[in-house]
């Protein structure tokens, strides 16, 4: 699995990371100056070369890990690349225990690494809305795990007693395209309408189940069609349209299988990070022509510009 040199050699790993971050010329992360830095003789503990900015008013040191999820890490760069590869290529995710065993780093270091890689996988919000003219977007909600704070238990999507205290998740999927998932702390009609309105193009066809949560969608989109799950209806054909929410339900199913099988427990405050991880793999899936290697590089490309600090694993 780790045949390539960058998976076992820090020098090769550094070169790969630098190529991804600086495909043409090296820029200083402190002042943005391009092409005026030079290598010092120093190397960071992770194996990254220390550069010095040649801009007279800056003159600061930096490396390929500066201002990225790998900043200040003592884990060797080649192990970081193994971690990125494992998390990008596994269908259901990789537990901190597995990273700990495979990479031969402490459990604590593995836990931190996994969350930092999730941060690198997080979409940075610069994408436009899902859908568009003639495009179908499916929206649905599900529940995963329980609220850590039982006092929040009464806030549910439909107010059904059986769902009290569960964590609501909303997902929007463009058919043949990308997914965006949200952990909704408060998931009433107002909150759901806001999520849908902010993330789906007005020209789209929106397909949902018959939930009242999407009642306002009729006015917002080119078309809003529903399937009546409560009446046993899962697919309906209207002319050329196939109305269903199976795509988004499959996304939920992969997420839940991974969370139950691999991660088992996750604190409520981290749930959005796991959603980022599963969204990332779906949005870089094989069906779109993205294979393991390209998916790993896409995750690495998301590392700069993001930092994550934690006091302790929990």
The site for Zn ion (CB under 5 A) is made up of: 28, 30-31, 33, 53, 55, 58
CB of 40 to Zn ion, least distance (A): 14
What radius of gyration, in Å, describes the C-alpha atoms of the chain?
Answer: 22
In the chain, what's the furthest Cα-to-Cα distance?
71
Q: Would you say 143 and 169 are in contact if contact means Cβ atoms under 8 Å apart?
A: yes
Q: Phi and psi dihedrals of 41, rounded to 5?
A: -85, 0
Q: Would you say 171 and 179 are in contact if contact means Cβ atoms under 8 Å apart?
A: yes
Q: What residues does 141 pair with on adjacent strands?
A: 170
CB of 37 to Zn ion, least distance (A): 7
Rounded-to-integer distance, Cα 184 and Cα 189, Å: 11
Describe the chain by its helix, strand, coil percentages, rounded to 5.
Answer: 40, 20, 40
CB of 60 to Zn ion, least distance (A): 5
Residue where the block lists tokens 């971050």 = 21
Cβ distance to Zn ion smaller for residue 61 or 210: 61
DSSP alpha helices (H): ranges in 105-214? 107-121, 189-199
Cβ distance to Zn ion smaller for residue 30 or 189: 30
Residue 178 CB neighbour total at 10 angstroms: 18
CB of 29 to Zn ion, least distance (A): 8
Residue 80 CB neighbour total at 10 angstroms: 27
Cβ distance to Zn ion smaller for residue 33 or 135: 33
CB of 38 to Zn ion, least distance (A): 12
CB of 307 to Zn ion, least distance (A): 18
CB of 14 to Zn ion, least distance (A): 20
CB of 26 to Zn ion, least distance (A): 11
Q: Would you say 39 and 22 are in contact if contact means Cβ atoms under 8 Å apart?
A: no
Rounded-to-integer distance, Cα 279 and Cα 285, Å: 10
Cβ distance to Zn ion smaller for residue 62 or 182: 62
Cβ distance to Zn ion smaller for residue 51 or 280: 51
Cβ distance to Zn ion smaller for residue 4 or 58: 58
Cβ distance to Zn ion smaller for residue 55 or 249: 55
Q: Would you say 224 and 217 are in contact if contact means Cβ atoms under 8 Å apart?
A: yes
Rounded-to-integer distance, Cα 239 and Cα 223, Å: 14
Cβ distance to Zn ion smaller for residue 62 or 255: 62
| Residue 212: closest CA among 226, 197, 198 | 226
């Amino acid at each position: 699995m780790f045949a390539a040199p960058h998976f076992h050699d820090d020098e090769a790993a550094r070169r790969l990371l630098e190529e991804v971050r600086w495909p043409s010329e090296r820029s200083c992360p402190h002042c943005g100056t391009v092409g005026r830095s030079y290598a010092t003789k120093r190397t960071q503990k992770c194996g990254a070369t220390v550069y010095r900015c040649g801009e007279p008013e800056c003159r600061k040191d930096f490396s390929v890990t500066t201002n990225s999820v790998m900043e200040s890490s003592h884990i060797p760069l080649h192990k970081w690349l193994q971690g990125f590869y494992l998390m990008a290529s596994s269908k259901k995710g990789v537990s901190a225990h597995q990273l700990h065993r495979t990479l031969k780093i402490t459990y604590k270091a593995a836990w931190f690494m996994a969350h930092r890689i999730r941060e690198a996988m997080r979409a940075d919000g610069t994408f436009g809305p899902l859908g568009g003219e003639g495009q179908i977007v499916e929206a649905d909600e599900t529940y995963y795990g329980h609220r850590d704070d039982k006092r929040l238990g009464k806030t549910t999507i439909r107010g059904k007693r059986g769902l009290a205290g569960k964590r609501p998740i909303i997902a929007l999927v463009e058919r043949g395209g990308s997914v965006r998932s949200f952990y909704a702390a408060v998931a009433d009609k107002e909150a759901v309408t806001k999520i849908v309105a902010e993330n789906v193009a007005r020209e789209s066809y929106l397909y949902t189940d018959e939930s009242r949560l999407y009642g306002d969608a009729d006015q917002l989109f080119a078309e809003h069609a529903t399937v009546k799950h409560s009446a046993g209806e899962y697919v309906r054909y209207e002319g050329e349209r196939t109305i269903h929410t199976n795509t988004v339900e499959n996304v939920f199913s992969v997420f839940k299988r991974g969370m139950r099988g691999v991660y088992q427990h996750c604190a409520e405050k981290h749930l959005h990070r796991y959603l980022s991880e599963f969204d990332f793999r779906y949005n870089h899936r094989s069906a779109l022509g993205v294979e393991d290697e390209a998916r790993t590089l896409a995750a690495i490309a998301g590392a700069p510009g993001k930092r994550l600090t934690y006091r302790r694993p929990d």
